[in-house]
Amino acid sequence: MKILIVMIRDLASLDATPAQRGLCDAVTSQPELAQNYTVMIWDDSPEAIVNSKLTIPFLYRRTKANLDVSGTYNGAMEYALDNGYSWMLLLDQDTQAEADFLRSTVRHGLELEIQDKIAVIALTVFVHEIIKSPRKLLMSHAFAYLSGQLGVAPGEASVIRSGCLMRVAAPREIAFRGKDLAQIHSPRLGYGE
């Protein structure tokens, strides 16, 4: 199983973001991780990358018009579908993915690959010990799931996209069959700590 890591570049130097530095450090220190991942940089910035100093191989896609997040993910999804990827790992530029996180993502993807009802494997994200993602949506309000709760999130859920492992075929199938969100308690991501 291979996972397509999708990162959007918008104005920041490619080599200076925590996401790219984290991936380079993880793959350099543990080269076996590269067997499970392909990194795609989708460039939405006005100027193309000429000489990158990244120490890992990556696919580079660029559009002249800013496609916004949804357009970028749709383009990456088409590439993933055409090239046999089951999952896409969505990373914002400010999310540092370490080796432990990448290993656990592969493990969760393998465990849930045959459960095609699962659309997204989401991290539990804390801000000052308060769960910010995933959150249960109820009557236009978002409520935290219980701390430590694992498994399929009941009801309609909202998640922070960065760090999510999304089934590549899910966006096309959601409208037709319905899918569930799997909350996997992976290494914590903390913001504002």
Q: For residue range 24-77, what is the model confidence (pLDDT) as tens digits?
A: 888 888 888 888 899 898 877 777 776 677 778 888 887 766 667 777 888 889
**pLDDT class of 181 with cuts at 50, 70, 90:** low
In whole angstroms, give the CA distance from residue 34 to residue 47.
28
**pLDDT class of 147 with cuts at 50, 70, 90:** low
Residue 171 scores a pLDDT above 80: no
**pLDDT class of 189 with cuts at 50, 70, 90:** very low
CA dihedral 17, 18, 24, 26 (to 10 degrees): -170
**pLDDT class of 14 with cuts at 50, 70, 90:** low
Percent of the chain with pLDDT over 90: 13
The more confident residue out of 71 and 177 is 71
The more confident residue out of 92 and 49 is 92
Q: What pLDDT does 13 receive?
A: 63
Q: What is the pTM of this model?
A: 0.81
151, two tokens = 């498994």
Task: Give the chain as a DSSP string.
Answer: --EEEEEEE-SS-GGGSHHHHHHHHHHHH-GGGGGTEEEEEEE-SSS--SS---SS--EEEE-SS--HHHHHHHHHHHHHHHTT-SEEEEE-TT----HHHHHHHHHHHHHHTT-TTEEEEE--EEETTEEEESEEEETTEEEEPPTT--EEPPSEEE--STT-EEETTHHHHHHHH--EEEE---S-EES--
**In whole numbers, what is the pLDDT of the chain averaged over residues?**
78
Domains identified in the chain and CATH numbers: 3-190 (3.90.550.10)
Q: What angle do CA 15, 17, 19 make, to 5 degrees?
A: 110
Q: Which residues pair with 4 in a beta bridge?
A: 38, 88
Residue 193 scores a pLDDT above 70: no
**Dihedral (CA of 109, 166, 99, 37) sign:** positive
Residue 180 scores a pLDDT above 90: no
Backbone angles phi, psi at 91, to 5 degrees: -130, 125
The more confident residue out of 126 and 79 is 79
Percent of the chain with pLDDT over 70: 80
Looking only at Cα atoms, what is the longest distance across the chain?
A: 49
Q: What residues have CB less than 8 Å from 149, skipping those under 6 apart?
A: 183, 185
Let me know how long the chain is. Answer: 193
